């Protein structure tokens, strides 16, 4: 397990969003709508349209309405035909806009994928080959200033690499052989030194190739929930087709048994006119969600890409929304990577100030993060000025050694050491001092609290004594407890995975507020844990970067590999986080949920809309036949023509109106299922019932002045 080599990238506009833990994405640029228009029109090709059955039916309806309008040559007919075509175009526009955002990103990536030549090592010699000819297992050498020709692992050397082409992050990262930072990506640039890379990709299947395909939506396959929703929409479409088509004989009978009723634009001797029939059908079938469904899916993937996460499949994004258990590594995810000094406890009558001074002095030359934290703490808590090693000219600095397990300084006849309790105690005893039992109690107390005790001792001419204990603490990142509380509210169990002993693990788990922990965890323990959870019906998500994480990443339902990790880890996971920020898992879960909620909410909205459309169209159709039905015209629409046309126009405009929502996703706050449902039902269910009543009435008020539509 390694820690990220770089801080998570946060664009300025994202920083505030992430701080509030909300998922959302940029606003819709109206220019993007215009720019996508040509593509939307090209998508009218029936060979493309039939993949979206609901909108395909609308297109057939539009063709039929055009035919009728040309034959009849009425304002009403032409208006209906135009608006039906607009309905289809608007639906295509939604998809085109969603795809358009991805295309821009793909273009940037393509620029990174220049044709490069590789220096392949063969039998001790070196040959130049085009990068495209590289096979798995080939070994290439890359030097400063050159582009890495393909994905692989560093097998020799260390180099700083500029990965900005992929991650957008300009700060270089270190890549070295062995360990968990060995993976390099084709298209990135070596800035210094020389590395030997073993190619792990197949030709044409590089990470960049996959990314391009992904953001363009070319390889987009329907996700399981999307397929299920499509089936429900198809069923609804069939029901409404039956309801509309069977209405014809009923209407004919109504005419037959009420002779003398004059013909109208909606109803004549042959029954309901073709134009009105098509209008009713288009208004009833779930066009709103049908038009926006694929845009929602593309935008969901896009939201992940904007957060520098690449999901290899939409299935994984959906699974993220369903996750029951989150496996989080302690180090780097829950705690800051390093332990920090948090308390000085003097023993044996030593004054706190004296201990702080000794602790600071012994750590001045200690460049480890722990050592730096001691200096910082001494300054913050005791007001000690930070001295520089150079100030003490005659001091001899003792670096940490594995044998002694101590570090410190000899200055002015005084020796100061800090280190593991037993090592310092031995050193004191060897110097003729006595170690009081009080020290043991303090050390045990620190351990029990999940901290690491460092003991500070001193040998002077006057003798040897223990000064006190430094409490090094794993510092839980700020805001983690809140996030875990959100997770709990969402019904997600958080498990902290750590190599620490159970005592330490427990203390940190309690402080961070996770639900459970896995202590002294080896990679195989992780795998076993994931399998056990899955047997219980749970979906598990985890992050990982090491080669030994690969089996667990592959087993997990959502496996997020860090971009800094090994190729094996990246292959095994189904998402890659380019920022290598393990806490992003939490955002990924939220994006997954938001994707599903957006679909559900717009489906509800779409179906709820139908009520108002019926109240607009049915009275308009049959009021001539049965004047009593005028009571159903509760919107008091102007004329049958204006009522039907208003419903059709509303049906088309609502698609455009909802494109921003489809791309952005509905607002999501982590909370319990019950509360989420209540809110979404109120907004999209009730709103879906009421909105069209208002919308259709307004449109009717406007178009009733159009000649040929007016009563």
Partner 1 sequence: MGSTTAGVVFIVSLLVALALVHVPLGDHMYRVLNSTKHNKVERGIYRAIGVDPDSEQKWSTYAKSVLAFSLISFLLLYGLQRLQDKLLLNLGLDPVPDHVAWNTAASFVANTNWQAYSGENTMGHLVQMGGLAVQNFVSAAVGIAVAIAFVRGFVRKRTQELGNFWVDLTRATFKILLPIAAVGAIVLMAGGVVQNFADPQAVTTVTGGSQTVTGGPVASQEAIKLLGTNGGGFYNANSAHPFENATGWTNWIEIFLILVIASSLPRTFGRMVGQKKQGYAIVAVMGVLALLSITATTAAQVAHHGTVAEAVGASMEGVEQRFGVENSAMFASATTLTSTGAVNSFHDSYTSLGGAVLMLNMMVGEVAPGGVGSGLYGMLILAVITVFVAGLMVGRTPEYLGKKIGAREIKFASMYFLVTPALVLIGTATAMAFEGPREGMNNPGAHGFSEVLYAFTSASNNNGSAFAGLTVNTWFYDIALGLCMLLGRFLPIILALGLAGSLARQTPVPVSAGTLPTHRPQFVGMVAGVTLILVALTFFPALALGPLAEGIH
Coil, helix or strand for 500? Answer: coil
Give the span between the Cα atoms of 575 and 570, in whole angstroms: 8
Could you say which of 138, 151, 329, 366 is catalytic?
329
Fill in the DSSP letter of residue 575.
E
Closest contact distance (angstroms) between CB of 537 and partner 1 is 4
Please list every residue from 254 through 293 that binds partner 1, using CB under 8 A.
Answer: 254, 257-258, 284
In the bound complex, what is the minimum distance in angstroms from residue 493's beta carbon to partner 1?
7
Q: How many CA atoms lie within 13 A of 651 on its CB side?
A: 36
Binding string to partner 1 for residues 527 to 556, with x set by CB under 8 A, is what?
--------xxxx------------------
For partner 1, the closer CB: 278 or 406: 278
- The residues, any chain, with a CB within 8 Å of residue 266's CB and separated by 6 or more, are 272, 273, 276, 620, 621, 624, 640, 641, 644
Token representation of residue 551: 């089996």
Closer by beta carbon to partner 1, 395 or else 676: 676
Stretch that binds partner 1, among 104-112, 363-371, 483-491, 579-587 (CB under 8 A): 483-491
By CB atoms closer than 10 A (0-12, 13-18, 19+), residue 47 is exposed
Whose Cβ is closer to partner 1: residue 318's or residue 511's? 318
3-state secondary structure of 222: coil
CA 87 to chain CA centroid, nearest Å: 31
Cα distance between residue 406 and residue 435, in whole Å: 17
Please report, for residues 34, 246, 248, 249, the alpha-carbon distance to residue 243 in angstroms, rounded to integers and kept in the order given: 37, 6, 9, 11
Measured CA distances, 115 to 131, 149, 254, 385 (Å): 7, 9, 73, 56
Map residue 404 onto helix, strand or coil. Answer: coil
Any long-range contacts for 46-49 (C-beta under 8 Å, 24+ apart)? 49/88
Site for partner 1 in 186-225 (CB under 8 A): 224-225
Residues 222-251 that bind partner 1 (CB under 8 A): 224-225, 227-229, 231-232, 234-236, 238-240, 242-251
Q: What's the min distance (Å) between Cβ of 643 and partner 1?
A: 14
Nearest distance, CB of residue 253 and partner 1, angstroms: 5
Q: Which is nearer to partner 1, 213 or 538 (CB)?
A: 538
Least distance from partner 1 to the Cβ atom of residue 231, Å: 5
Residue number, 38 or 628, with CB nearest to partner 1? 628
Judge contact between 286 and 607, C-beta under 8 A.
yes
CB of 455 to partner 1, least distance (A): 45
Residue placing its CB nearer to partner 1 in the complex, 124 or 537: 537
Listed in sequence order, the residues at least 6 apart from 461 whose beta carbon sits closer than 8 Å to its beta carbon are 413
Q: Which of residues 596-635 bind partner 1 (CB under 8 A)?
A: 596-597, 599-601, 603-604, 607-608, 610-611, 614, 618, 622, 625-626, 628-629, 631-632
- Which residue of 592, 624, 640, 692 would you call a contact of partner 1, by CB under 8 A? 592
CB 187 within 8 A of CB 164: no
Give the pair of three-digit tokens for residue 116: 């490069």
Q: State which residue, 293 or 496, has the beta carbon closest to partner 1.
A: 293
Measure Cα distances from 437 to 355, 442, 466 in Å: 18, 9, 11
| Part in contact with partner 1 (CB under 8 A); list of ranges 93-101, 356-364, 402-410, 593-601 | 593-601
Its sign, for the CA torsion 234, 592, 601, 657, is negative
Instruction: Find out whether 336 and 599 touch, Cβ atoms under 8 Å.
Output: no
Q: Toward partner 1, which CB reaches closer, 86 or 293?
A: 293
Q: Which of the residues 680 through 709 are near partner 1 (CB under 8 A)?
A: 680-681, 684
Q: CB-wise, 37 or 683, nearer to partner 1?
A: 683
* Span 145-164, contacts to partner 1 by CB under 8 A: none
Q: Is there a contact between 140 and 149 (Cβ–Cβ < 8 Å)?
A: yes
Furthest-apart CA pair in the chain: how many Å?
125
Give the CA angle between residues 211, 214, 217 to the nearest 5°.
150
Of the candidates 443, 412, 418, 425, which has an alpha carbon nearest to the alpha carbon of residue 356?
418
Three-state secondary structure call for residue 270? coil
- Report CA torsion sign: 97, 98, 103, 108: positive
Chain centroid to Cα 174, Å, comes to 25
Of 147 and 676, which CB lies nearer to partner 1 in the complex structure?
676
- CA dihedral for 297, 300, 305, 306, sign (positive or negative): positive
Give the nearest distance from C-beta 512 to partner 1 in angstroms: 19
| Number of residues lying near partner 1 (CB under 8 A) | 76
- In 3D space, the residue among 46, 610, 40, 642 whose CA is nearest the CA of residue 294 turns out to be 40
What would the x/- binding string for partner 1 be over residues 293 to 332, using CB under 8 A?
A: -------------------------x--xx-x--------
CA distance 175 to 142: 12
Residue 490 makes contact with partner 1 by CB under 8 A = yes
Strands of 36-123 (E only): list them. Answer: 117-122
User: Is 329 an active-site residue?
Assistant: yes
Q: Could you give the residue ranges of the DSSP H alpha helices within 113-223? A: 164-167, 207-216
Q: Which stretch binds partner 1 (CB under 8 A): 24-32, 400-408, 544-552, 674-682?
A: 674-682
Q: Is the CB of 176 or the CB of 630 nearer to partner 1?
A: 630
Q: What is the C-alpha to C-alpha distance for residues 550 and 526, in angstroms, rounded to an integer?
A: 11
Based on CB atoms, which residue is closest to partner 1, 310 or 492?
492
Least gap, CB of 599 to partner 1 (angstroms): 5
The residues carrying an active-site annotation are 329
């Amino acid at each position: 397990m390694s820690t990220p080599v770089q801080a998570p990238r946060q664009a300025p506009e994202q920083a505030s969003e992430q701080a509030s833990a909300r998922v959302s994405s940029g606003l819709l640029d109206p220019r993007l709508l215009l720019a996508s228009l040509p593509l939307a029109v090209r998508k009218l090709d029936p060979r493309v349209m039939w993949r979206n059955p609901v909108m395909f039916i609308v297109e057939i309806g539009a063709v039929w309405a055009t035919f009728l309008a040309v034959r009849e040559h009425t304002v009403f007919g032409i208006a209906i035909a135009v608006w039906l075509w607009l309905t289809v175009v608007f639906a295509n526009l939604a998809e085109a806009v969603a795809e358009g955002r991805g295309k821009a990103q793909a273009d940037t990536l393509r620029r990174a994928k220049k044709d490069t030549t590789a220096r392949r090592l063969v039998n001790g010699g070196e040959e130049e080959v085009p990068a495209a000819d590289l096979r798995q297992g080939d070994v290439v050498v890359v030097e400063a200033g050159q582009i890495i020709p393909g994905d692989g692992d560093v097998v020799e050397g260390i180099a700083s690499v500029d990965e900005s082409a992929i991650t957008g992050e300009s700060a270089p990262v270190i890549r070295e052989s062995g360990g968990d930072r060995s993976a390099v990506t084709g298209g990135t640039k070596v800035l210094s030194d020389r590395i030997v890379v073993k190619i792990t990709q197949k030709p044409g299947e590089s990470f960049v190739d996959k990314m391009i395909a992904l953001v363009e939506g070319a390889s987009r396959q329907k996700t399981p929930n999307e397929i299920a929703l499509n089936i429900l929409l198809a069923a609804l479409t069939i029901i409404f087709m039956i309801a509309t088509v069977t209405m014809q004989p009923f209407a004919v009978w109504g005419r037959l048994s009420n002779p003398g009723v004059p013909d109208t634009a909606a109803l004549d001797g042959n029954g309901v006119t073709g134009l009105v029939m098509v209008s009713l059908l288009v208004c009833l079938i779930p066009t709103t969600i049908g038009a926006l469904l694929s845009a929602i899916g593309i935008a969901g993937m896009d939201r992940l890409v904007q957060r520098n996460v690449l999901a290899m499949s939409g299935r994984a994004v959906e699974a993220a929304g369903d996750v029951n258990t989150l496996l989080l590594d302690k180090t780097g995810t829950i705690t800051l990577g390093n332990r920090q000094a948090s308390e000085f406890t003097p023993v044996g009558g030593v004054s706190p100030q004296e201990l702080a001074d000794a602790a600071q002095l012994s750590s001045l030359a200690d460049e480890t993060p722990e050592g730096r934290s001691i200096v910082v703490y001494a300054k913050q808590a005791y007001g000690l000025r930070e001295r520089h090693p150079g100030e003490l000219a005659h001091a001899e600095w003792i670096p940490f050694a594995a044998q002694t397990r101590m570090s410190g300084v000899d200055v002015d006849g005084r020796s100061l050491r800090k280190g593991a309790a037993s090592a310092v105690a031995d050193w004191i005893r060897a110097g003729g001092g006595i170690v009081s039992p009080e020290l043991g109690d303090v050390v045990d107390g620190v351990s029990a609290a999940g901290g690491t005790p460092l003991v500070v001792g001193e040998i002077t001419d006057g003798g040897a004594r223990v000064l006190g204990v430094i409490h090094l603490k794993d510092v839980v990142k700020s805001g983690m407890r809140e996030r875990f509380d959100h997770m709990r509210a969402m019904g997600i169990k958080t498990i902290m995975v750590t190599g620490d002993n159970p005592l330490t693990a427990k203390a940190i788990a309690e402080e961070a507020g996770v639900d459970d922990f896995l202590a002294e965890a080896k990679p195989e323990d992780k795998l076993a844990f994931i399998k056990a959870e899955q047997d219980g019906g749970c979906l598990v998500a985890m992050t990982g970067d090491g080669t030994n994480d690969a089996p667990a990443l592959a087993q997990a339902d959502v496996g997020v590999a860090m971009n800094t990790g090994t190729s094996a880890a990246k292959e095994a996971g189904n998402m890659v986080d380019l920022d290598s920020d393990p806490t992003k898992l939490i955002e990924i879960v939220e994006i997954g949920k938001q994707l599903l909620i957006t679909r559900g909410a717009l489906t509800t909205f779409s179906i709820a809309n139908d009520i108002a459309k019926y109240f607009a169209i049915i009275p308009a159709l049959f009021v001539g036949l049965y004047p009593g039905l005028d009571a159903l015209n509760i919107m008091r629409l102007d004329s049958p023509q204006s009522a039907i046309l208003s419903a059709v126009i509303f049906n088309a405009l609502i698609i455009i109106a909802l494109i921003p929502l489809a791309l952005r996703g509905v607002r999501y706050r982590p909370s319990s299922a019950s509360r989420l449902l209540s809110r979404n039902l109120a907004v999209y269910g009730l709103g879906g019932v009421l909105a069209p009543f208002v919308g259709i009435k307004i449109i009717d008020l406007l178009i009733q002045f159009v000649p040929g539509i007016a009563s």
